[in-house]
């Protein structure tokens, strides 16, 4: 039996295409931080570093003679990104986004039974088996999004502003306030294999409590 997040955690990963308010609990992630255009080679290399460790954790855990008592095999969680723009861009923002000004935390969630110690162990093994300078930048972090608005965005990433506008309108209707311009994206589709118009992305921003 395998834990399928698509089926078991629909509230988090399978939202509707219209905005809704949800409360997101604390989860743990493998995280890497960076800056610049998501179409760059560096961005792809960050993704590669994350997945190399995420899959090594899954496969090593599966082979353990004495896994944690609450262990269950799982489908690797989707790539997520928390997005902002750099300080210089904030000072001079004119309403037009330059992708080179983006600042990001890319991450892949880990099941609760994965410990920081196990992550550290697998990270060191991965450095030896698949050397990559970006592995030095990976960290294990617990993150709580808390009260948020989210929706499922269908189509091009470049069309996301229209979905964020819907979310902002909904926030006004519900008399809640967006905490900041930082937002989270959860990539349910592999953009290398899926036509642009069929891409599925969860968009989420935090609310003031």
Reply yes or no on whether the pLDDT at 190 is more than 90. no
pLDDT band for position 101 (cuts 50, 70, 90)? very high
The reported pLDDT for the residue numbered 52 is: 97
The reported pLDDT for the residue numbered 94 is: 79
CATH class of this structure's domain 2-206:
alpha beta
pTM over 0.75: yes
Q: Strand (E) positions, 36-113?
A: 73-74, 79-85, 102-110
Number of neighbouring beta carbons within 10 Å of residue 46: 24
Q: What are the Cα distances from residue 102, in Å, to 85, 97, 166?
A: 4, 9, 22
**Domain assignments of the chain as residue spans, ordered by start:** 2-206
Dihedral, CA of residue 12, residue 17, residue 18 and residue 22, to nearest 10: 0
């Amino acid at each position: 039996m395998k834990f399928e997040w698509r089926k078991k955690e629909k509230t988090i990963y399978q939202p509707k295409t219209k905005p809704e308010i949800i409360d997101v609990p604390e989860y743990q992630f493998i995280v890497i931080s960076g800056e610049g255009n998501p179409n760059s080679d560096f961005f792809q290399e960050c993704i590669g570093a994350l997945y190399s460790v995420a899959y090594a954790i899954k496969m090593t855990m599966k082979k353990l003679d004495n896994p944690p008592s609450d262990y269950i095999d799982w489908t690797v969680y989707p790539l997520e990104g928390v997005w902002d723009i750099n300080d210089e861009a904030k000072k001079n923002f004119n309403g037009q986004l330059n992708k080179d000004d983006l600042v990001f935390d890319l991450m892949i969630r880990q099941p609760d039974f994965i410990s920081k110690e196990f992550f550290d162990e697998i990270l060191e093994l991965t450095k030896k088996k698949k050397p990559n300078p970006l592995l030095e930048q990976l960290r294990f972090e617990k993150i709580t999004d808390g009260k948020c608005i989210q929706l499922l965005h269908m189509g091009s990433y470049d069309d996301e502003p229209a979905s964020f506008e819907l979310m902002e309108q909904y926030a006004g209707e519900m008399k809640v306030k967006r905490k900041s311009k930082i937002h989270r994206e959860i990539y349910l589709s592999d953009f290398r294999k899926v036509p642009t118009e069929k891409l599925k992305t969860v968009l989420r921003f935090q609310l003031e409590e």
